[in-house]
């Protein structure tokens, strides 16, 4: 029996204890077009509300500051992961961020979690959920302002955990059952993005941002009777909105 295609790090085990990785060759990633209408609408709101001048903004950028943000939005795996039967549509994501800085610069830590599903196409086997959780260092710099609306650039880097639920499946092959273990993956992840922010009074801010992140996975795919191993780069597109509480001195 040909082993089912699953994730990039899957191993199948039989009663003899032998293992072999299986996976197809990925395709080229595509821009998440579904985000464009929502992003344009949010940008219109920000720029419209930003028409009121903020005389204190120049003084604020010279101060030391600490901020805490609640994050919500979506994460969309790159299209290449569709060849591993990942659902690459945008899925809900959430997290939190803590920053400290001085003037236009700030740095801190961000936690970000999302998930999707992976189709196995096997009768009697439930498709597993795929959970992605990252803990990253984040750096931000204020680039420009237009009235009340501020533009920031960000860079991030840290560790990403990819886990499957359930983590072990039993496949009926008509003879001895085959146990498929979906082992958790831990990889480095890095990203860059842009943020538009609007002050809500003196101490609060609402912002939207988009970020492209990259991470690598060890992959395997069949080439005739052999299995080809490779190291490939994947990633995701993240769209977030943040509600931030800021303290300055």
Q: How far apart are CA 67 and CA 246, in angstroms?
A: 4
Q: What is the pLDDT of residue 225?
A: 79
Give the closest residue to 182 by CA, choosing from 174, 193, 171.
171
Q: 107 has which bridge partners?
A: 100, 139
Q: What is the pLDDT of residue 55?
A: 47
Q: Rg of the chain over CA atoms, in angstroms? A: 22
Q: What is the pLDDT of residue 239?
A: 98
Q: How far apart are CA 169 and CA 230, in angstroms?
A: 25
Q: What is the pLDDT of residue 173?
A: 72
- pLDDT average per 10 residues of sequence, the chain (249 residues): 42 41 37 50 53 48 88 96 92 98 96 93 82 98 93 98 88 78 93 97 95 92 79 96 95
Burial of 156 (0-12, 13-18, 19+ CB in 10 A): buried
Q: Where are the beta strands (DSSP E) in the chain?
A: 11-13, 19-21, 64-77, 91-102, 105-117, 129-146, 149-165, 168-171, 178-181, 185-200, 204-223, 226-248
Number of neighbours of residue 174 by Cβ within 10 angstroms = 6
């Amino acid at each position: 029996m040909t082993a089912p295609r699953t994730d990039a790090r899957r191993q199948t085990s039989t009663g003899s204890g032998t293992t072999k990785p299986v996976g197809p060759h990925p395709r080229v990633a595509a821009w998440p077009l579904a985000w464009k209408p929502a992003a344009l609408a949010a940008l219109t709101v920000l720029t419209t509300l930003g028409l009121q001048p903020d005389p204190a903004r120049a003084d604020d950028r010279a101060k030391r500051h600490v901020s805490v943000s609640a994050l919500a939005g979506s994460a969309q795996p790159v299209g290449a992961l569709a060849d591993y039967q990942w659902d690459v549509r945008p899925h809900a994501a959430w997290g939190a961020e803590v920053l400290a800085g001085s003037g236009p610069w700030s740095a801190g830590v961000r936690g970000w979690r999302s998930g999707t599903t992976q189709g196995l196409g096997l009768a009697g086997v439930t498709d597993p959920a795929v959970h992605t959780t990252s803990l990253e260092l984040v750096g931000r710099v204020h680039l420009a302002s237009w009235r009340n609306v501020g533009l920031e650039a960000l860079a991030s880097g840290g560790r990403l955990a990819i886990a499957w639920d359930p983590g072990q499946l039993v496949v009926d092959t008509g003879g001895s059952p085959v146990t498929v273990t979906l082992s958790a993956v831990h990889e480095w992840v890095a990203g860059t993005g842009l943020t538009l922010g609007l002050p809500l009074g003196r101490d609060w801010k609402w912002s939207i941002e988009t970020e492209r992140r990259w991470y690598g996975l060890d992959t395997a795919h069949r080439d005739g009777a052999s299995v080809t191993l490779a190291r490939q780069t994947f990633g995701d597109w993240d769209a977030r909105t943040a509600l931030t509480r800021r303290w300055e001195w």
